[in-house]
């Protein structure tokens, strides 16, 4: 996962709350909370892969399904979320 960070053809989104994001996040990830995603989807490009992270993997799983439904084709749900990521 670390090797993928910073690639220009990828988009990194953290779907946790702004409070959780502020407390601890991975540099390079953009905070788009799950509840804001439907109205902020236009900030993402369907041409690029989207990597989604949350705290444990539950919210990012929901987001992955939502993105798929909206025409995004390359989505990576970072399993285990921040709980399993060690920067």
Instruction: Give catalytic residue positions.
Output: 54
Phi, psi of 76 (to 5 degrees): -120, 120
Q: Please name the helix (run of DSSP H) or strand (run of DSSP E) that holds residue 14, with its range, or none.
A: strand 10-14
Q: Using alpha carbons, list the distances in angstroms from residue 84 to 32, 71, 78.
A: 20, 29, 9
Dist CA 81 CA 52 (whole Å) = 9
Phi, psi of 53 (to 5 degrees): -135, 150
């Amino acid at each position: 996962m670390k090797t993928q960070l910073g690639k220009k053809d990828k988009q990194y989104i953290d779907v946790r709350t702004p409070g959780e994001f502020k407390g601890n996040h991975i540099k390079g990830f953009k905070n788009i909370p799950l509840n804001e995603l439907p109205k902020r989807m236009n900030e993402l490009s369907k041409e690029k892969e989207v990597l989604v992270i949350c705290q444990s993997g539950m919210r990012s799983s929901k987001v992955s399904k939502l993105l798929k439904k909206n025409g995004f084709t390359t989505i990576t749900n970072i399993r285990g979320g921040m709980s399993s990521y060690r920067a």
